Structure 1
Amino acid sequence: MNKRKMKLSTEKRIDLIERILKKEINVSEAAKVAGVGLTTIYRWIGLYENEGPAGLAVTHKNRHYSKELKLTAVLAYLEGSNSLQEVAKNYGLRNKKQLEDWIKVYNTHGNFKSESGGSKVRQTKEFSPEERMEIVLYCIAQDYDYSATAVKYQAKYSSVYNWVKRYEKLGQVGLEDRRGRRKAAQTGRTSEEESQIKIAQLEEQLKYKQMEVDLLKKRKSIRKEESSEQVRTIIVYKSIRELHEEKHYPVQPMCKMMNVTRSAYNRWVKQPYSPRKHKNEQLTKIIRKIHDEHPEMGYRRIKDELKRNYETEVNDKRVLRLCRKEGIQSTIKHQANSITRRGKHPYHTAKNILNRSFTAEAPNQKWVTDISEFKYYIGLEVHKVYLSAILDLCDRRIVSFVIRETNDLPLVIDTFDQAVQAEPEARPIFHSDRGFQYTHQQMYQRITEAGMTQSMSRVGKCTDNGPMEGFWGIIKREKYYGRKFTSREQLVGMINDYINYYNNGRYQRKLQALTPMECHNQYDQAV
């Protein structure tokens, strides 16, 4: 810890942190006592927890970390599960700035060095061309470790770097120092050396011309991108980095040609993806997976799926934004075709007792029922099946359902008997439309014998039975429309599987993101 920045002695800092950990004082109060910011207090706490009291002691030299530890820490952060501060704490770093520097090196595809300090060397002597040649060859042999080379030969880091680059460009001639000397006092160059320099200059000009051509190609492709300005800027940064890595073009002129600043590009290289963007990418993959499995789901249901099955807490707006960005949209609902046939001579009709009161305080207080038609194809022949179902308005579960080839009275009676068998104590309001099956004498007798109250929609008012019509829309939009069924087994299997999924796996906002059966069981446990 740097002695110049100390405001408290080591003993007082240790005492202060121990008081915080014992909950004798909170962080805000401790910051006021120490005369420092909250961030500093939290950093002290981290040092104390990692290293004990010794972590708050004064240090007189920098620590050194292995290449393996640096790489491991960087990869741990890029996974996106922890913040900079948390990763720094986990790997025993005294400051997150160290981790930020390592991430910058990693993102620029640099090599981690185990030694440091070359940039702080004060160069006090001049080096002859022979000495420079020795330094350059040593640096290249050491895998371009400029810092270690500077320390070994007591030269400036920048000098070593420039000598290596000039040697690679001009050869040994590039290591001569002709600054501040009259031409008469300079050693004359041979014609071969002059030719070598001229060739190097022409190669540099050719390289710049080729760089301009490559950048123009990149720029032309970027203009064709139908995306936002922010996305186009990211593409520009990626193009510059690709050309810099593949063809070793200098960054500064490329930034100028692409109308971006060098500082903005460097910031992007240091951290091309923010933690939030990294998290959004992970969310997008999960959302895409959910959509592929359930294309009928809208953004609200996807959000509930993330919360329940992936333990990921996000809000609706974020999911909607990611869905729009990826072009994810639920399947479109088709217009419903009614198959209700009114009875020509109804035995019994009932009033609309339900009166669109589609909520119930407990299960088995209100049931609604209806029939819907489904088609499958064998060659050119069209075949039909009919699904009769009863839905509870409290927990929205399907109480019973029956599938038959004919839309007749036994279809409705069997559905009703199945529901009574499943819930023998139920005495609900039983609401339906005015189809001939529901106005039949046998149906009326069964409802009366079961102690239920019959209710019927008004003529031509399908919204009086809205929840049941809504269920037909849900099952057909999610699993029926847009598909062609080629056998009865395939169609009936789809219906059976979906109703099981609807009751046990489909989360509903009206039920506080529970499934119908979870809501039903929760009520039973409460009772």
Structure 2
Amino acid sequence: MAKYSFEFKCKIVQEYLNGKGGYTFLSKKYGLPDHTQLMKWVANYKAFGEKGLLRNKKINDYSVQFKMGAIELYLTTEISYRELALELGMTTPSLITSWVQVFRAEGIEGLSKPKGRPPQMKNDIKKIKASKKSSLPSENKDLERIKELENQVLSLQIQNAFLKEWRSLQVGKPRSNEQTARIIYRLRQQFKLKDILSTIGFPKSTYMYWQKRFDRDDPDSEIKQALLSIREKHKNYGYRYMYEELKKYGFLVNKKKIQRIMRELNIRVTAFTRKSRKYSSYKGNVGIVAPNRINRRFDSTIPHQKITTDTTEFKYYETDLAGNLQTKKLYFDPFLDMYNREIISYNISKQPNGETIMKALNEAIEATNDCLYRRTFHSDQGWAYQMKAYGAKLKENKIFQSMSRKGNCLDNSPMENFFGIMKQEMYHGRIFRSYEELEQEIMAYVHYYNHERMKQKLDWQSPVEYRITMMSHAA
């Protein structure tokens, strides 16, 4: 990579800030390989001034705590590593990506390893060379060497004990000076305070400040207990849902305070970070394609009038007789009421077939027979919904059939939204070892979704609670 002088960087950055050209124009004008280099210089200049354009020859020694803080921010927020580096005052953004790679490969221990040859090895080599040059052994040098090795052993022992206490907190990392001070307080039973502070690099004044506050009563202890009990039941509730759920416990707390406490307790939601491939049942026109009667009018004020359905797949793993791990699939066919987003019927099978879909359809028709108005059943253009038997069953019960346009998932948004929530909350990040295990988990989740999981659009009620409440008001 070419090295550019400080004067050159200042000149091109000033031209950009003075409006003499954009990133691409100035990069071509001055022969830069691409415009991203100029973008980096401008960002550094805005954040640090001219110092941000100087080449940093000094190697910064960042603490493990600083690295873990940067890693967590990078992994749990939408901010890019360049923006994060600017916020943390770092002129080398690539360090953050290096720390993330080391943390994923080796864990916390990898971040605490010094770069290059270990210092004690260098000292050993220097002393060996010095001993060869000198013919007279020095007893003082031997004593100094022994003392140095003892200090190194003590330092390693403190670091190891600190990491063990760190893990025992089960919060990923010390999130505050208070937690670090509490770890130091525990280590004082084994080591001297001055040795712990010098090894960890923690200010004594900060430690003494928090030590005086260890015995204080936590004013938020009741709220924390309530949040933890809610988390046991609802593992994917964020701070907005926690805010509404706390009202049921008699707490009226600011949402920002709930966010702060959830960070302290490390109960933030991390499930909604992964996308997956959707099962496609489209095989062309193999039957009758119905018009799109719903036409994205998904809201309904009448229970059981507008019903939608779709099919999705889940993967699980089984070991065959030869001991080989095989990937298998499970198919889920639910029917959803657009009135309150309730799953009114569903079927689970090992392969997609018309029989399972017809079984779920019959249950959905029976569940919605109480509707006083003519019903509409919506779906995509999958082969199962184009079957003559499917269409005939709907006509037999005087039900309109509606289909999404070809290749347009937005025409069936309520069903796609349910699949997305379901997979993020109970499927992604987990490995299922049998069909029965995955089937039981899906059945349990459907019950939880219908009866317990509240939705903001339903006035913070579950689908079943909302339906019962609205029926009581109508009566």
Which TM-score band applies after superposition, normalised by the shorter structure? 0.5 to 0.7
2:451 is matched with: 504
Q: Does 1:295 align with 2:242?
A: no
Q: Which of the residues 381, 393, 398 maps onto 2:338?
A: 393
With over 3 angstroms needed to count, the CA separation of the structure-2 counterparts of 1:518 and 1:228, relative to structure 1, is closer
Match of 1:139 in 2: none
The one of 341, 359, 368 aligned to 1:414: 359
Distance 1:333 1:420 in 2: 36
Give distance in 1, aligned partners of 2:344 and 2:424. 21
The alpha carbon displacement at 1:228 in A equals 8.2
**Residues 341-360 of structure 1: matches in 2 within 5 Å?**
341-360=281-300
- Report if aligned partners of 2:451, 2:464 keep a CA contact under 8 Å in 1: yes
Q: 1: distance between equivalents of 2:219 and 2:382?
A: 53
Against the structure 1 CA distance between its residues 486 and 235, is the aligned structure 2 distance closer, same or farther, given a 3 Å change threshold? closer
Unaligned runs of 5+ in 2: 1-157, 167-172, 194-202, 320-324
RMSD: 3.8
C-alpha distance in 2, partners of 1:282/1:403? Answer: 42
Letter in 1 for 2:337: D
Question: Could you tell me how far apart the structure 1 residues matched to 2:424 and 2:234 are?
Answer: 11
- Which residue of structure 2 lines up, in the alignment, with residue 524 of structure 1? 471
Verify the 8 A CA contact 1:343 1:439 in the aligned structure 2.
no
Per the alignment, do residues 508 and 457 of structure 1 end up closer, same or farther by CA in structure 2, a change over 3 Å counting?
same
The 1:265/1:322 distance shift into structure 2, 3 A limit, reads closer
Contact 1:333 1:473 in 2 (8 A): no
Amino acid at match of 2:267: I
- Aligned pair partner of 1:363 in 286, 303, 320: 303
**Hey, what's the Cα distance between the residues in 2 that align with 1:343 and 1:350?**
15
Name 2:268's counterpart in structure 1: 329
Identity among equivalent positions (%) equals: 30
Equivalents in 2 of 1:487, 1:265: separation in Å? 50
The separation in 2 between residues aligned to 1:287 and 1:510, in whole angstroms, is 22
1:469 to partner: Cα distance: 1.0
Give the direction of change, closer, same or farther, for the CA distance of 1:265–1:491 in structure 2 (3 Å limit). Answer: closer
Partner of 1:485: 432
The letter of the residue matching 2:342 is: R
**Contact 1:429-1:455 within 8 A present in 2 as well:** yes
CA offsets 1:465-523 (integer angstroms, 9 cap, x no match): 11111111122111111222122221111111111111111111111111111111122
Give the structure 2 partner of residue 91 of structure 1. none
Of 312, 320, 326, the residue aligned with 2:259 is 320
Q: Which moved more, 1:430-439 or 1:349-358?
A: 349-358
Q: Secondary structure at the match of 1:391?
A: strand
- Which residue of structure 1 lines up, in the alignment, with residue 144 of structure 2? none
Distance change >3 Å, CA 228–CA 491, structure 1 → 2: closer
258 and 466 in structure 1: CA distance in 2 versus 1, 3 angstrom threshold = same
- Deviation for aligned residue 1:378: 1.6
- 1:405 and 2:353 correspond: no
Does the CA-based 8 Å contact 2:308-2:377 persist in structure 1?
yes
- The answer to whether the Cα contact below 8 Å between 2:307 and 2:378 also exists between their aligned partners in 1 is yes
**Cα gap change, 1:406 to 1:315, in 2 (>3 Å):** same
Query: 1:369, 1:390 within 8 Å by CA — same for their partners in 2?
Result: yes
Change over 3 Å in CA distance of 1:444–1:328 after alignment to 2: same
Q: How does 1:81-160 map to 2 (within 5 A)?
A: none
Q: Does 1:432 align with 2:432?
A: no
Q: Distance in 1 between matches of 2:443 and 2:412?
A: 23
- The change in CA–CA distance for 1:317 and 1:360 in structure 2 (over 3 A counts) is farther
2:305–2:368 Cα contact (<8 Å) kept: no
User: Within 2, Cα distance between the matches of 1:329 and 1:463?
Assistant: 29
Residue 5 of structure 1 aligns with which residue? none
- Partner of 2:66 in structure 1? none
Q: How big is the shift at 1:458?
A: 1.6
Task: Answer whether contact 1:507 1:513 (CA < 8 A) is retained.
Answer: yes
* Distance in 2 (alpha carbons) for counterparts of 1:314 and 1:500: 29
Q: Which residue of 1 aligns with 2:421?
A: 474
Deviations 1:326-364 (A, max 9, x none): 332222342132212223333221232222222211211
Deviation at 1:397, TM superposition (A): 0.8
TM-score (norm 1): 0.48
How far apart in 2 are the matches of 1:406 and 1:517?
A: 30
**Partners of 2:392 and 2:227 in 1: CA distance:** 50
For normalisation by structure 2, the TM-score amounts to 0.53
Measured in 2, the distance between the counterparts of 1:231 and 1:382 equals 47
Q: Hey, what's the Cα distance between the residues in 1 that align with 2:330 and 2:283? A: 21
5+ residue gaps, structure 1: 1-216, 248-256
Match of 1:457 among 393, 404, 415: 404
- Whole-angstrom distance in 2 between the partners of 1:477 and 1:258: 44
- Corresponding residue for 1:286? 226
Sort the Cα spacing of 1:291 and 1:442 in 2 relative to 1 into closer, same or farther, 3 A: same
SS at match of 1:437: helix
Number of matched residues?
A: 288
* Equivalent-residue separation in structure 1 for 2:446 and 2:254 (angstroms): 28
* Partner SS state of residue 311, structure 2: strand
